């Protein structure tokens, strides 16, 4: 669920990145990781819920996978958009 949210945010704001240790990290992915962490740790305060490291790890893994998909989609869109505009200029 958080992975899909990360995908949608990253594709909506493709230029939003934060540099962490010389790696460009999409802001949408960081937001979703923070949200997943807060949600998982908040479960420790409810009697019928339990916080689990496995749940947090699976949520972050989903975010990472969908982040990779979003970066691929953004690159593909940018290449096709550049090709479209390049071909359009040739026809003028």
For the whole model, what pTM was predicted? Answer: 0.79
Q: What pLDDT does 24 receive?
A: 87
- Contact present, 75 and 15 (Cβ < 8 Å): no
3-state helix, strand, coil in the chain (%, to 5): 75, 10, 15
**What would the mean pLDDT of 50-69 be, rounded to a whole number?**
94
- For residue 82, the model assigns a pLDDT of 60
Whole-angstrom Cα distance, residue 17 to residue 14?
8
pLDDT over 60 (residue 87)? no
**pLDDT score of 5 more than 70:** yes
Asked if 17 contacts 28 with a C-beta cutoff of 8 angstroms, the reply is: no
């Amino acid at each position: 669920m958080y992975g899909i949210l990360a995908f949608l945010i990253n594709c909506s704001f493709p230029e939003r990145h934060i540099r962490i240790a010389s790696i460009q990290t999409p802001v949408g992915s960081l937001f979703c990781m923070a949200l997943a962490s807060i949600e998982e740790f908040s479960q420790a305060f409810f009697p019928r819920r339990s916080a689990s490291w496995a749940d947090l790890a699976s949520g972050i893994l989903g975010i990472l996978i969908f982040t990779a998909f979003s970066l691929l989609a953004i690159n593909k869109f940018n290449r096709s958009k550049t090709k479209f505009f390049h071909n359009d200029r040739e026809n003028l």
